Amino acid sequence: MNTLRLFHLVCVCTLAASQAAVSLEAENAAAPEARPGLPLQELIDAHPGEMIFIPAGRYDISEALRVHAGGTGLWGPGTIVQTDDDQDILSIDGVSGIRIEGLTLTRAEGRQESLCHALAARNCHDIEIRNVRVIDNHSSAGTVYLENCRDAVVAGCTVRNYKRIGVDDRTASELYGYAFRVIDGTGILVNAGRNVAIHANRVVEDRLFPTAETKEEHQLGFLTEGKLPTKKGRLAPAGEYANNWHQGSAIVVTSPEESSHVIVSNNQIQNAAQGIDLHADHVTCTANDIDHAFIGIKCMHGSRNVIIANNNISHMDLWGIIMMPGTASHPAEPATDAQPARGANFTRGNIIANNIFSDFGYGYEHFNWEDSVSGVISLESGQLPENPIMTDVIIQGNIVYDTGGEGEIRDGQVVPEPPRYEYAVFISDNPRPERLTFVGNIFPPGSRGVSNIPLQEFGE
């Protein structure tokens, strides 16, 4: 290339870059921007379908901000503070092409205990929530909540301190029919979603820990009055106490038979009740780091075609991964006077591969579960006799690391501890899941062995 041509090319590129920069600067200068004295809702209403910049600063609101025009976006480093504990912070309903990016959502001091969401999107299509910080929304509702949304992304967000002490009221359920005192809260909840990505988020609770002291202080697990009179059902505890008093999850994808084609990847989770809870089909759950929970990943209620792979799961106290049919699973059923015909909802065609489990039984809740049958990987039968049997599951390349075998230093000596799990693998035998395949796993025996059923029967 000659010198003149090179000079010409450099000039053209420089001019193009300069023009792009000028255009971008002009566009940003003309963009709507939050300013002191102008209520945010008025600004949103005045600029439907536009990207609205929220500069750094605190913006107090007393009603939920509502986005009601397609193509609207809110972005910037501003902090939106909800002063009413009976309101969501940001609500998006029935629109498409929405972008929320960079904001901090929180509640005012003294108003952090709530039954509401921080960010709720309902009946939306093509919605992106990126790099949003949600702090101190202490709620039994999903802090970031998507209902009946399609083509949605929740990525790079931080949800911190989302739990509260409350009552889990199941009195309206025929199967349960009771209410009890709990720690409750869910960080990110997708209900009836399709084509959803939940990627590279941090869901952390560093305020409320499920210790023996917390249990005693708040009388967790003890039955109490609910909205309806107590009328215990088939799945109710026998006495006046339920040991599953740590409720909620860091991430939930639910609405079995509706939610499908979901990616849950590269999320970091600390101090959850359940790390990731899946009730959906066609799910890829991979490369998540889950530290401290009583369940790492739960997959149930007819979930099929689910891949649970390459996750790092540490400090679990009951199950590392549990897969089971659950009450919502059922065979195909013809139409009746009570309901239309519906297809089968089975838990089958799933893969559990290349996950690492460490420090099992060394979490905050070991005291609560040490007398329970624990399998690091637990493959269960249904909750009800009529639930179909789970079938067609591959369990391959997983590692359970017996932390107790390393031992503790006592009086200058290394003293090994027995494993804090009973089995590396527990398989229900009444009825037994069918067509399980085990390949190339490393499963050191627990206190009662490698598994309750010899894995040689399944090819290991």
**Model pLDDT for residues 393-418, shown as the tens digit of each residue:** 999 999 999 887 777 777 787 878 88
Mapped onto helix, strand or coil, the DSSP state of residue 331 is: coil
| Mean predicted confidence (pLDDT) in 241-259 | 95
Q: What is the pLDDT of residue 2?
A: 52
Question: 274 pLDDT exceeds 70?
Answer: yes
Q: What is the pLDDT of residue 10?
A: 43
Average pLDDT over residues 146-174: 97
Give residue 118's domain range.
40-332+343-458
Q: What is the mean pLDDT of the chain?
A: 91
| Span 69-106, pLDDT tens digits | 999 999 999 999 999 999 999 999 999 999 999 999 99
The contacts of residue 373 (CB under 8 Å, 6+ apart) are 422, 423, 426
For residue 23, pLDDT beyond 70: no
pLDDT at 362 over 70: yes
9 lies in some domain: no
Contact 83/61 with Cβ under 8 angstroms?
Answer: yes
Label residue 20 by pLDDT band (50, 70, 90): very low
On whether the CB atoms of residues 304 and 346 are closer than 8 A, the answer is yes
4 within some domain: no
Task: Find the range with the poorest average confidence among 67-76, 181-190, 341-350.
Answer: 341-350
pLDDT, residue 160, reads 98
Residue 29 has pLDDT above 90, yes or no: no
The answer to whether position 254 is within a domain reads yes
Residue 15 lies inside a defined structural domain of this protein? no
User: Predicted confidence band at 16 (pLDDT cuts at 50, 70, 90)?
Assistant: very low
Whether residue 403 contacts residue 362, with contact meaning beta carbons closer than 8 Å, is answered with: yes
Report the C-alpha gap between 249 and 369 in whole angstroms: 18
Count of domains for the chain: 1
Among residues of the chain, what percentage have pLDDT more than 90?
78
Q: Is the pLDDT of residue 431 over 80?
A: yes
| In contact, 139 and 188? CB cutoff 8 Å | no
In a domain, 20, yes or no: no
Give the pLDDT mean for 124-148: 97
Q: How far is CA 29 from the centre of its chain?
A: 39
337: in domain: no
CA distance 175 to 126: 37
Percent of the chain with pLDDT over 70: 93
Query: Is residue 377 domain-resident?
Result: yes
Per-residue pLDDT at 30 exceeds 80? no
HSE (side-chain half, CA atoms, 13 Å) at 285 = 35
Lowest mean pLDDT among 2-16, 107-121, 187-201, 299-313: 2-16
Q: What is the pTM of this model?
A: 0.90
**DSSP classification of residue 370:** T
Which strand (E) or helix (H) includes residue 255?
none
CA distance 165 to 183: 5
- Mark 162-189 as b/e (b = at least 16 C-beta within 10 Å): bbbbbbbbbbeeeebbbbbbbbbbbbbb
Given a contact cutoff of 8 angstroms between Cβ atoms, the answer to whether 87 and 108 are in contact is: no
Rounded distance between C-alpha atoms, residue 90 and residue 397, angstroms: 43
pLDDT at residue number 343: 86
- Return the pLDDT at 386: 85
77 contacts 54 by C-beta, under 8 angstroms: yes
**Does residue 19 register a pLDDT over 90?**
no
> What pLDDT does 411 receive?
79
Give 441-459 pLDDT, tens digit per residue: 999 999 999 999 999 988 8
Which of 3-7, 361-365, 407-411 has the least mean pLDDT? 3-7
Would residue 54 count as lying in a domain?
yes
Residue 452 has a pLDDT of 95
Please report, for the domain that includes residue 101, its CATH number: 2.160.20.10
CA atoms within 13 A on the CB side of 254: 18
